[in-house]
Amino acid sequence: MTYEVVISEAATETFQDIRIQVENRWGAKYADQFEERIAHVLEIISSAPFVFKSIAFDVNIRKAFIHRNCSMFYEIDGSIIIILFFWDNRQDPIFL
């Protein structure tokens, strides 16, 4: 079964912020590779959404590791996967 992937407005904004940061720090080539990693993870979760670990307080929300500096949070709602936001792992922990 293939799940439909929906990207929230917050995910779009946080992705753009992190991509700009990556490009400014390491250049356009690395930013493009970062985008490719995200596309690869989106392919994975569209066919196997339970592959990444759920967060402690809600089993429907999962954290996908993109890079040591970035994670993506998404929610499974029936046959739809909602990309909630991207997180810069160098920030303070979001969930304790």
Percent of the chain with pLDDT over 90: 80
**C-alpha closest to that of 67 among 26, 25, 46, 38:** 38
- Do 37 and 44 meet the contact criterion of CB atoms below 8 Å apart? no
- Do 1 and 79 meet the contact criterion of CB atoms below 8 Å apart? yes
More confident residue, 77 or 92: 77
At residue 57, the pLDDT reads 86
Q: Is the pLDDT of residue 92 over 70?
A: no
Output the pTM of the full model: 0.89
The domains of the chain, with CATH numbers, are: 4-88 (3.30.2310.20)
Which parts of the chain are beta strand (E)? 4-7, 54-55, 58-67, 70-77, 80-88
